[in-house]
């Protein structure tokens, strides 16, 4: 091609600026992309799809104050990506040889330095959830920044931790990752983890197993302790930087946030298992610097992942700091730390507690003091040479603390003694209870204003959710809402129009309670007593699509009791409003009952079309004209070309990740497990009357589903059908036959029991979309684990899972029933009860064994005969077989063995006759339709039917015999059935007139319309009906039908043969009564030109007269219009 013919790819500067691109790695394996395939809204959705590619990793900066930098661990600093406040950028790996971990740091510039903060520890960007990252300043800036910032005013607060939240990007099918970064409050307000020190002692903390904390000089430690020049225990001269102390300092009455220096750690042994979050969130705490002798002896480790964990630090172990007298007094004191929850924040609270002094404690203390005295004696002994003495002296100086630290620790010990004398300390049990409450001064029995500094108290009040900031004269209102509904009924009518389903809710209860200031717990609960969805599509194999399993249980008196448990109960408890802005829920409980789902493919497709129609209606754009009239898009002939650029910007993953969703904190989220009984059947073809009433579109859907013309995942819906398709070649016919057989074999299952485990989340922070993604993944995984149960319940395999379940129930009864009988016989001293139990157990085992094998055999033969009926290529023959199965299912009473033999013989004879007569009828029908070509096809169908139809009759006979065996074994009482058979809530809605008008539901009209489908009026639009006493008059848009209470037709007339109506008193067999005279245009065979419809009273006569006149007028108008 010429150069000017090559299409040029250009980028718009407003979407793809030049500065957004930089040099990256050369390995294409590190460029991970995601794609999203979606359907355009409107009419273009039928023909066009939108494919959006995006980077797999997106970084979002949720901070409002700081820019952030992110890079791959161990890569050069010039490969870092800058994420400005509120921006979103894509991220790709910088080096293929480095571990796929990232690290971050805030950008706070000082002078010519890019940032004063170090990089955080590396963490896995693919690990979903939240992580607290410890951020440390560079050594040259750490010393100068401590103690000089105005932290009380909230300005220039140092960044201590950053919250990294890894979540799935919307619209990427679970493959896209969004990492959001935000700094946390250094005092722990709203942070993931917070340390509260309510003891007089200073604490040193660090992540367990990590030596990543910076080295502090003596001056830095004293500044952390709050000692300033001229204060108590401080000296004026310069400090010698000779002592290295490890750990973060938490001074008395201080709160700090806690983060991980090493948020990712690989195992060092075989297998190299990655450390879990539980292993990473282990904290070391001590009453002295961790590297000192006192810190080593007083160090304890606690896990922050479990609420209620406790650690106890012993001040009496600070023997190198305190004298013997003070150590002895501190034997009865412990600094106890309790892991609690303050909304979404995990809090480790320290306080002083009393402890009973035991003999073991006294002896341990004496041994510790003796060992210390021996070391001092050894240090001063004369038998050491000068070199050894100098080394020992240096070692002792290294282990012993400074005078300033000694003074601070002694001051804390003296405060502790004062609290002990005043009786202000709590016991361990009391401290644990009060720590969970977290109210002001929870760590003391009484308030000690003379001990706690006012400045420190202001710091405490900032970190707690106290109500002291509320004015006492403000009014707080308590609201209570309670509603009780008897039930709701939702009728689903599609665009034909035709009612396809009815959903009913019964006994709906709702309750809520909250206060206006949201300072106390708020609760809400909803309960649904019953839920049922009826399938009103014609020829539906299952009249009830969805309902709760209504269990029957046998009591000791052999009485069957119904469990009155609601089908769904939801309970919510909201915590008071939290300062972090996160919605905190203390408890969420969802308790569903076991459900039964019985659907056919025709119902699924029509329900999908109905829901997609609602979606399209809601998304439809409306054009407002000058006269304020609305014109829908479907009424316009021109299709507006969609703006692809705008749609791309709206649907790209970066737009989906552009806003931080509202965070939710669940202290307890529980969804109870439930079971689902699933039954699926192919759709049945509609009769001519049903097809005429439903319309050509619905009839084509049922016909396509029955032939297996399904398209899975094609278009906006999950399942679509290919209507109007005809197999015109021999190869197409063969493909169509096998497709129909495959669909029937793989989609017919009988009562497949699917188990869905429950969900239990404790102290979980998430957002609404992320929670939905998690629950979707949970239940999809549960569905995958139920695939063996689905395959084992297919009717094509004889439902082996159901057979094994029945055998298990029979064996259980065989063992349990004699035991029950034995217990009851011993209680009533009646040996016959034991024999009755043995008889019941043996009978149950026999029923389940024989009936189960007979049921499996009947499924196999039925599947074989149904699929062989497809091989005949005779659609009318297959439809007649479907009608016979529907009639057999509607008969109700069980078939016995004798009945099975009789019906089986009749079907065998019918199969042979159908095969013989088909050899003659099929060529004749083919010749009538398509001449010679049709005659040849008819000959082929006839010969094929002569071979296949007798075999079908034989398999049908075997099916009926097996069903008869099962019915005879089970008898009238089916003890193996645990569930009550459900019936539809009401008959199908009646639609009136030729235009099928939708009106308020009336049960008499619905019953009459349902009854009309069983008469000669089937297939005609329903108009009205009238109960005239001993007879029922049903009017369609074309004819009148009168039948008596015995179901026999009394009168059948067409409107086009009627001249007029008249109301008179007439003489009937019972005497004089009111009636409607029907004057005919043409005399009937008996010579009569008038028919009489008698009524029970004058009001009924006038109502019937009005209906007849209206029907005659509509029929005349329709005939004049040529409809």
Q: Are strands 630-632 and 719-721 parallel, antiparallel or unpaired?
A: unpaired
Average the pLDDT over each of 148-162, 173-187, 190-204, 638-652 and give the range with the smallest value. Answer: 148-162
Picking from 487-496, 835-844, 974-983, which range would have the lowest pLDDT averaged per residue?
Answer: 974-983
Residue 470 has pLDDT above 50, yes or no: no
Is 70 exceeded by the pLDDT of residue 677? yes
Q: How confident is the model at residue 119 (pLDDT cuts 50, 70, 90)?
A: very high
Which one, of 1044, 1026, 1043, 1045, lies nearest residue 1035 by Cα?
1026
Maximum average pLDDT range among 338-342, 373-377, 563-567, 1071-1075: 338-342
Per DSSP, what are the bridge partners of residue 506?
487, 530
**Could you give the CA distance from residue 922 to residue 942 in angstroms, rounded to a whole number?**
6
Those residues whose C-beta lies under 8 Å from the C-beta of residue 594, and which sit 6 or more positions away, are 548, 549, 551, 674, 675, 676, 677
Question: Looking at residue 791, what is its pLDDT?
Answer: 80
Res 510 pLDDT > 90: yes
pLDDT at 209: 78
Confidence of residue 452 (pLDDT cuts 50, 70, 90): very low
Residues in the chain: 1123
pLDDT band at 335 (very low <50, low <70, confident <90, very high): very high
Query: Residue 1047's pLDDT is what?
Result: 80
DSSP for 369-382 reads HHHHHHHHHHHH-T
Residue 384 reports pLDDT greater than 80: no
Whether pTM exceeds 0.95: no
Sign of CA dihedral 1093, 1097, 1098, 1103: negative
For residues 451 and 400, the model is more confident at 400
d(CA 731, CA 749): 29
Contact 159, 257 (CB under 8 A): no
pLDDT of 364: 64
Percent of the chain having pLDDT more than 70? 70
DSSP states along 330-367:
GGGEEEEEEEEEETTEEEEEEEEEE----HHHHHHHHH
Residue 376 scores a pLDDT above 70 = no
What's the angle, vertex CA 848, arms to CA 839 and CA 791, rounded to 5?
Answer: 160
Most confident of the following: 18-32, 594-608, 874-888: 594-608
Give the pLDDT score at 256.
93
- Cα gap 986→501, rounded to integer Å: 11
Ranking 481-490, 537-546, 737-746, 925-934 by mean pLDDT, the lowest is: 737-746
Q: Identify whether the C-beta of residue 50 lies closer than 8 Å to the C-beta of residue 143.
A: no
Among 100-109, 274-283, 594-603, 1114-1123, name the one with the lowest average pLDDT: 1114-1123
User: How sure is the predictor about 539, in pLDDT bands with cuts at 50, 70 and 90?
Assistant: confident
Region at 763 (left for phi over 0; alpha for psi -120 to 50; beta for the rest)? left
Estimate the share of the chain in helix, then strand, then coil, as percent rounded to the nearest 5: 40, 25, 35
C-alpha 20/C-alpha 22 separation (Å) is 7
Indicate the average pLDDT of the chain.
75
Could you report the per-residue pLDDT of 700-729, keeping only the tens digit for each? 887 777 766 666 655 556 666 666 555 555
Residue 431 pLDDT grade (very low, low, confident, very high; cuts 50, 70, 90) = confident
In terms of Cβ atoms closer than 10 Å to its own Cβ (0-12, 13-18, 19+), residue 302 is buried
- The predicted-structure confidence for 81-92, as pLDDT tens digits, reads as follows 999 998 999 998
Distances from the Cα of 1001 to the Cαs of 491, 989, 998, 1021, 1043, in angstroms? 9, 7, 9, 16, 24
Q: What is the pLDDT of residue 461?
A: 43
Most confident region among 790-804, 865-879, 883-897, 985-999 by mean pLDDT:
985-999
Q: What are the C-alpha distances in Å from 783 to residues 172, 320, 590, 711, 793? A: 21, 63, 19, 22, 14
- Burial class from Cβ neighbours inside 10 Å (0-12, 13-18, 19+) for residue 63 reads buried
pLDDT at 413: 87
User: What 3-state class would DSSP assign to 1044?
Assistant: strand
Q: Nearest CA to 1065 among 1106, 1101, 1104, 1029? A: 1101
Instruction: Note the pLDDT of residue 163.
Output: 93
What is the pLDDT confidence band of residue 423, given thresholds at 50, 70 and 90?
confident
Residue 135 burial (C-beta neighbours within 10 Å; 0-12, 13-18, 19+) = buried
Phi, psi of 7 (to 5 degrees): -65, 135
Residues 6+ apart with CB under 8 A from 632: 620, 622
Alpha carbon distance 846, 814 (integer Å): 9
B/e letters for 823-839, b = 16+ CB within 10 Å, e = fewer, are eebeeeeeeebbebbee
Query: From CA 1044, how far away is CA 1042, in angstroms rounded?
Result: 7
d(CA 307, CA 285) in angstroms, rounded, equals 17
Residue 632 confidence (pLDDT): 41
Mean pLDDT of 6-13: 39
- The whole-number pLDDT of residue 103 equals 95
Please tell me the least confidently modeled range out of 36-50, 117-131, 683-697, 912-926. Answer: 36-50
On the question of a cis peptide bond just before residue 720, with omega within 30 degrees of 0, the verdict is no
Greater confidence, 181 or 774? 181
CB burial of 466-478 (b: ≥16 within 10 Å; e: otherwise) equals eeeeeeeeeeeee
**Cα pseudo-dihedral 315, 320, 323, 328, rounded to 10:** 40
Q: How far apart are the first and last CA of the chain?
A: 62
| pLDDT score of 348 | 93
pLDDT band at 383 (very low <50, low <70, confident <90, very high): very low
Residues 818-838: what's their mean pLDDT?
81
**More reliable by pLDDT, 146 or 1074:** 1074
Do 861 and 955 touch, CB atoms closer than 8 A? Answer: yes
Whether the predicted pLDDT of 234 surpasses 60: no
Distance CA 163, CA 186 (A): 12
Question: What pLDDT sits at residue 9?
Answer: 37
* DSSP β-bridge partners for residue 255: 196
Evaluate whether 576 touches 519 at the Cβ level (below 8 Å): yes
Kindly give the residue spans of alpha helices, DSSP state H, lying in 581-668.
601-619, 644-651, 653-656
R_g over Cα of the chain: 42
- Check residue 183 and give its pLDDT: 92
């Amino acid at each position: 091609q010429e150069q000017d013919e090559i299409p040029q790819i250009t980028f718009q500067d407003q979407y793809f600026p030049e500065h957004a691109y930089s040099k990256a790695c050369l390995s294409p394996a590190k460029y991970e992309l995601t794609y999203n395939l979606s359907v355009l809204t409107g009419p273009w959705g039928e023909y066009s799809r939108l494919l959006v590619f995006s980077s797999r990793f997106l970084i979002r900066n949720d901070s409002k104050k700081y820019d952030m930098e992110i890079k791959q661990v161990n890569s050069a600093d010039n490969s870092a990506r800058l994420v400005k406040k509120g921006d979103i950028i894509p991220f790709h790996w910088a080096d293929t040889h480095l571990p796929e971990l990232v690290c971050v740091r805030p950008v706070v510039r000082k002078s010519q330095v890019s940032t004063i903060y170090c990089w955080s520890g590396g963490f896995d960007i693919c690990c979903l959830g939240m992580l607290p990252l410890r951020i440390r300043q560079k050594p040259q800036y750490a010393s100068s920044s401590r103690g000089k910032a105005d932290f009380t005013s909230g300005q220039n607060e140092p960044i201590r931790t950053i919250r990294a939240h890894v979540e799935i990007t919307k619209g990427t099918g679970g493959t896209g990752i969004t990492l959001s970064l935000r700094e946390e409050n250094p005092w722990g307000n709203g942070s993931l983890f917070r340390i509260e020190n309510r003891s007089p002692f200073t604490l040193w903390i660090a992540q367990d197993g990590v030596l990543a904390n910076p080295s502090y000089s003596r001056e830095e430690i004293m500044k952390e302790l709050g000692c300033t020049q001229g204060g108590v225990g401080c000296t004026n001269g310069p400090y010698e930087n000779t002592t290295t102390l490890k750990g973060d300092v938490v001074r008395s009455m201080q709160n700090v946030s806690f983060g991980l220096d090493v948020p990712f750690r690989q195992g060092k042994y075989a297998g190299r298992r990655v450390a879990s979050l539980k292993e990473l969130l282990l904290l070391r705490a001590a009453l002295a610097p961790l590297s000192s002798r006192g810190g080593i002896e007083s160090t304890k480790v606690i896990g922050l992942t479990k609420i209620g964990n406790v650690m106890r630090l012993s001040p009496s172990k600070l023997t190198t700091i305190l004298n013997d007298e003070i150590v002895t007094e501190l034997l009865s004191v412990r600094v106890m730390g309790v892991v609690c929850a303050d909304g979404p924040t995990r809090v480790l609270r320290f306080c002083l507690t009393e402890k009973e002094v035991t003999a073991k404690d006294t002896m341990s203390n004496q041994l510790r003091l003796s060992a210390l005295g021996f070391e001092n004696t050894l240090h001063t002994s004369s038998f050491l040479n000068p070199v050894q003495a100098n080394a020992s002296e240096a070692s002792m100086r290294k282990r012993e603390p400074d005078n300033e630290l000694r003074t601070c620790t002694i001051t804390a010990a003296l405060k502790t003694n004062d609290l002990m004398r005043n009786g202000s300390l709590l016991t361990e049990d009391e401290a644990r209870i009060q720590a969970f409450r977290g109210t002001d001064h929870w760590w003391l029995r009484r308030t000690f204003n003379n001990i706690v500094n006012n400045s420190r108290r202001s710091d405490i009040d900032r970190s707690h959710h106290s109500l002291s900031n509320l004015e006492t004269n403000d009014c707080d209102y308590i609201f209570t809402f309670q509603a009780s509904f008897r039930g709701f009924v939702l009728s689903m009518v599609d665009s034909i129009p035709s009612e396809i389903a009815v959903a009913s809710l019964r006994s709906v209860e709702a309750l809520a309670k909250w206060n206006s200031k949201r300072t106390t717990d708020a609760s809400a609960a909803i309960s649904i007593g019953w839920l049922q969805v009826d399938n009103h599509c014609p020829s539906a194999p299952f009249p009830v699509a969805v309902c709760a399993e209504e269990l029957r249980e046998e009591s000791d008196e052999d009485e069957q009791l119904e469990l009155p448990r609601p089908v769904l109960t939801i309970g919510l408890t909201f915590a008071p409003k939290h300062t972090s802005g996160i919605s905190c829920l203390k408890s969420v409980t969802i308790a569903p009952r076991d459900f039964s789902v019985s659907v056919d493919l025709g119902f699924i497709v029509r329900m999908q079309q109905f829901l997609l129609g609602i979606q399209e209606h809601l998304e439809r754009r409306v054009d407002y004209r000058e006269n304020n009239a609305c014109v829908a898009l479907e009424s316009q002939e021109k299709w507006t070309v969609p703006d692809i650029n705008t749609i791309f910007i709206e649907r790209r993953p970066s737009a989906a990740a552009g806003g931080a969703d509202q965070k939710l904190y669940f202290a307890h989220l529980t969804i109870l497990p439930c079971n689902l009984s699933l039954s699926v059947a192919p759709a049945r073809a509609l009769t001519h009357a049903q097809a005429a009433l439903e319309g050509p579109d619905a009839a084509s859907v049922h016909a396509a589903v029955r032939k297996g013309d399904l398209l899975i995942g094609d278009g906006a819906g999950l399942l679509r059908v290919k209507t109007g398709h005809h197999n015109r070649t021999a190869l197409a016919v063969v493909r169509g036959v096998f497709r129909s057989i495959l669909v029937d074999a793989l989609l017919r299952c009988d009562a497949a029991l699917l188990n869905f485990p429950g969900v239990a989340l404790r102290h979980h922070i998430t957002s609404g979309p992320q929670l939905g993604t998690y629950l979707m993944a949970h239940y999809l995984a549960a569905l995958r684990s139920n695939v063996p149960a689905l395959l084992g319940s297919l009717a094509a395999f004889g439902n082996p899972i159901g057979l094994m379940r029945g055998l298990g129930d029979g064996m259980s009864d065989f063992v349990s029933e004699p035991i029950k009988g034995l217990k009851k016989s011993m209680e009533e001293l009646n040996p016959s009860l034991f024999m009755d139990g043995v008889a019941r157990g043996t009978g149950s085992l026999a029923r389940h064994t024989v009936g189960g094998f007979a049921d499996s055999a009947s499924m196999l033969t039925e599947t074989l005969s149904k699929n062989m009926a497809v091989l005949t290529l005779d659609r009318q023959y297959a439809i007649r077989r479907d009608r016979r199965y529907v009639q057999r299912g509607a008969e109700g009473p069980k078939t016995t063995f004798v009945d099975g033999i009789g019906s089986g013989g009749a079907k065998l004879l019918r199969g042979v006759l159908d095969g013989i007569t088909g050899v003659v009828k099929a060529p004749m029908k083919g010749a009538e339709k398509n001449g010679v070509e049709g005659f040849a096809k008819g000959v082929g169908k006839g010969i094929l039917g002569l071979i296949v139809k007798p075999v079908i009759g034989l398999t049908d006979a075997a099916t009926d015999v097996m069903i008869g065996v099962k019915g005879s074994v089970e008898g009238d009482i089916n003890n193996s059935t645990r569930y009550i058979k459900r019936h539809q809530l009401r008959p199908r809605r009646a639609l009136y007139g030729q235009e099928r008008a939708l009106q308020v539901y009336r049960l008499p009209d619905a019953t009459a319309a349902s009854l009309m489908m069983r008469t000669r009026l089937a297939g005609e639009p329903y108009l009205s009906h009238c109960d005239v006493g001993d007879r029922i008059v049903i009017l369609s848009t074309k004819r009148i039908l009168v039948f008596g209470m015995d179901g026999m037709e009394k009168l059948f007339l067409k409107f086009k043969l009627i001249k007029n109506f008249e109301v008179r008193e007439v003489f009937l067999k019972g005497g004089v009564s009111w009636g409607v005279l029907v004057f005919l245009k043409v005399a009937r065979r008996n010579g009569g030109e008038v028919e009489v419809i008698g009524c029970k009273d004058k009001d009924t006569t006038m109502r019937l007269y009005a209906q007849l006149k209206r029907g005659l007028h509509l029929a005349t108008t329709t005939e004049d219009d040529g409809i």
